[in-house]
A and B are shown apart, each in its own frame.
Chain A
Amino acid sequence: MNGIHDLGGMHGFGRVSIEEDEPVFHAEWEKIIFALGMARVGWVHNQDEWRHGIENIDPVQYLAARYYERWLISAENNLLKKGMITKEEYDARIQRFTRNPKAPLPRTHDPKRLRQLVQLIRYGSSTRREQTRETKFRVGDQVVARNMNPLGHTRLPRYVRGKHGIIAKVHGVFVLPDTNAHGKGENPEYVYNVCFDANELWGTAAEEKETVHIDLWESYLQTPYEAGRYADSQPRQDLP
């Protein structure tokens, strides 16, 4: 989706604010929502759906919210939408904790889940899949990022769409976020590292000697021929 999350190349946000000796978490609530989000509690099925939940936050709220507040909003939205919590119970519970922030919580154990989680932290859960066919592109090939504007989740940022780049590396085959975020299957594809010259991306605003390297799925890319970008070989046409 062409959401507010797609920030690359935007102007006007101002200076990057760096906190000296920043702690990992700034408040107790940040720790808890981080843990709830990581534990995954079943309100989303995978990382892509999780990311899409964050992208779906209202753009004004997205920018105004603190980082972990976005996790909270996304969790609330998904849990309510999927009926895993009801508005009534949530409202009542918030009021209880507003009146008494120290109200006791149950203490529970789940040794099996804990073991799974330790495994997840230590070994990850790679979305890399087996390579079962040849790559469409090779290192050094010229490619054009498609100009596509899906309403759903995608990992093709606006700032590279329609731009020419060069394949810099073949990373292997990975689950496609565009379908995986929507319960439409993994549809694994090759992911390539594509190098774009800053002049191609930013025109006269480009800095000297800069390139941007970005990882793109095969279906995000076309050959220049497929993209119809060989202008010289096309017959002249009247303006529409």
Chain B
Amino acid sequence: MKTAVSRTYSGNDYGTKEYDLTARVRALESILLEKKLVSSDVIEKLISSYENDIGPMLGAKVVAKAWSDPAFKKRLLENATSACRELNIGGREGDNMVALENTPTLHNVIVCTLCSCYPWAVLGLPPNWYKSPEYRSKIVIEPRKTLREDFGLNIGPEKKIKVWDSSAEIRYLVLPERPEGTEEMSEAQLASLVTRESMIGVGVVNPKKSKTKARRRK
């Protein structure tokens, strides 16, 4: 009997051969380069932009500014796209943004159950777990349990949970609660505390434990 993975896929059985992923991608790249359908400089620019320039440090800047500047926070919550533009932040997967404010009685968390829509312009490319069937299936049906058991984040019974499923072209950014004891901090210091996880809503900002803080700071 044929096993499931030896079926002929919709026009594609490359996954069933012994072909290495690297060989497949290189083969595709070389053909497309030769046919002038893509160029080396475009490939390099795309990779370097998302490896070096666009990442969670941008979202952290937005959050720190909102914590420090009430007028900016108001603008951010009214129109996140234009507020981010003030900081020269925006673009691809971030051209229609909405910011969601966490409060003592409300916790927001974002997901894309149908694919992996994510606010690239403020958080960069999503981590693998965000794109995984595990997260996409569970967070809409049991958010409290998933946050507690898989992310170690306890959301108290006093808080309502809103799960935002990014099914259209709107991209969401969670504005986490500002932790206590950070009143004297500068915007740059605050930004260094803000984690990617807190801006997705699977974490909170804790001044004492910034282990997984936004990497790849500019």
Instruction: Identify the A interface with B (CB < 8 A).
Output: 5-11, 13-22, 24-29, 31-36, 38-39, 41-42, 51, 54, 56-58, 60-61, 63-65, 67, 69, 72-73, 75-77, 79-81, 84-85, 89-90, 93-98, 101, 103, 105-111, 113-114, 117-118, 120-128, 155-157, 159, 169, 171-172, 174, 191, 193, 201-202, 205, 207-217
The number of chain B residues with a CB under 8 A from chain A is 95
Residue contact A13 to B39, C-beta cutoff 8 Å: no
The 0/1 profile, CB within 8 Å of A marked 1, for residues 131-175 of chain B is 111111110111111100111000001011111111111100000
**In the complex, B193 has a CB within 8 A of chain A:** no
**Contacts A32-B26, A36-B29, A207-B142; A110 near B14 (Cβ below 8 A):** no
Residue contact A103 to B26, C-beta cutoff 8 Å: yes
Residue contact A24 to B5, C-beta cutoff 8 Å: no
Q: Which of B92, B128, B164, B165 contacts A67 (CB 8 A)?
A: B128
Residues of A within 8 A of B157 (CB): 208-209
**In the complex, B55 has a CB within 8 A of chain A:** yes
Output the nearest chain A residue to B147 by Cβ-Cβ distance: A16
Q: Which of B26, B125, B160 contacts A97 (CB 8 A)?
A: B26
Of all A-B residue pairs in the complex, the 5 with the closest CB atoms, nearest first, are: A124-B95, A8-B113, A215-B168, A110-B39, A93-B27
**In the complex, B33 has a CB within 8 A of chain A:** yes
**In the complex, B47 has a CB within 8 A of chain A:** yes
Residue contact B128 to A93, C-beta cutoff 8 Å: no
**In the complex, B115 has a CB within 8 A of chain A:** yes
Residues of A within 8 A of B131 (CB): 67
Q: Which of A36, A64, A111, A159 contacts B28 (CB 8 A)?
A: A36
Residues of A within 8 A of B47 (CB): 25, 31-32, 34-35
Output the nearest chain A residue to B108 by Cβ-Cβ distance: A213
Output the nearest chain B residue to A26 by Cβ-Cβ distance: B128
Residues of B within 8 A of A96 (CB): 27
**Contacts A36-B38, A42-B37, A105-B33; A174 near B113 (Cβ below 8 A):** no
Stretch at the interface among B16-24, B62-70, B183-191: B16-24
**Contacts A105-B30, A191-B168; A8 near B140 (Cβ below 8 A):** yes
**In the complex, B212 has a CB within 8 A of chain A:** yes
Residue contact B93 to A124, C-beta cutoff 8 Å: yes
**In the complex, B180 has a CB within 8 A of chain A:** no
Report how far A13 CA is from B129 CA in the complex, Å: 12
The binding surface of chain A is classed by DSSP as mixed
Residue contact A155 to B128, C-beta cutoff 8 Å: no
Residues of B within 8 A of A156 (CB): 167
Residues of B within 8 A of A24 (CB): 50-51, 55, 124-125, 216
Residues of A within 8 A of B20 (CB): 98, 101
Residue contact B163 to A213, C-beta cutoff 8 Å: yes
Q: Which of B21, B42, B96 contacts A110 (CB 8 A)?
A: B42
The 0/1 profile, CB within 8 Å of A marked 1, for residues 1-22 of chain B is 0001101011110110001111
Report how far A240 CA is from B168 CA in the complex, Å: 38
Residue contact B46 to A35, C-beta cutoff 8 Å: yes
Would you mind naming 20 contact pairs between A and B with Cβ atoms under 8 Å apart?
A7-B113, A7-B136, A21-B215, A22-B128, A29-B25, A34-B125, A36-B38, A60-B5, A79-B28, A81-B11, A89-B31, A93-B31, A101-B26, A103-B30, A108-B40, A121-B91, A128-B95, A159-B113, A191-B170, A214-B165
**Contacts A122-B91, A191-B170; A18 near B150 (Cβ below 8 A):** yes
**In the complex, B57 has a CB within 8 A of chain A:** no
Report how far A105 CA is from B137 CA in the complex, Å: 40
Q: Which of A35, A77, A155, A210 contacts B42 (CB 8 A)?
A: A35
Residues of B within 8 A of A31 (CB): 47, 51
Residue contact A124 to B22, C-beta cutoff 8 Å: no
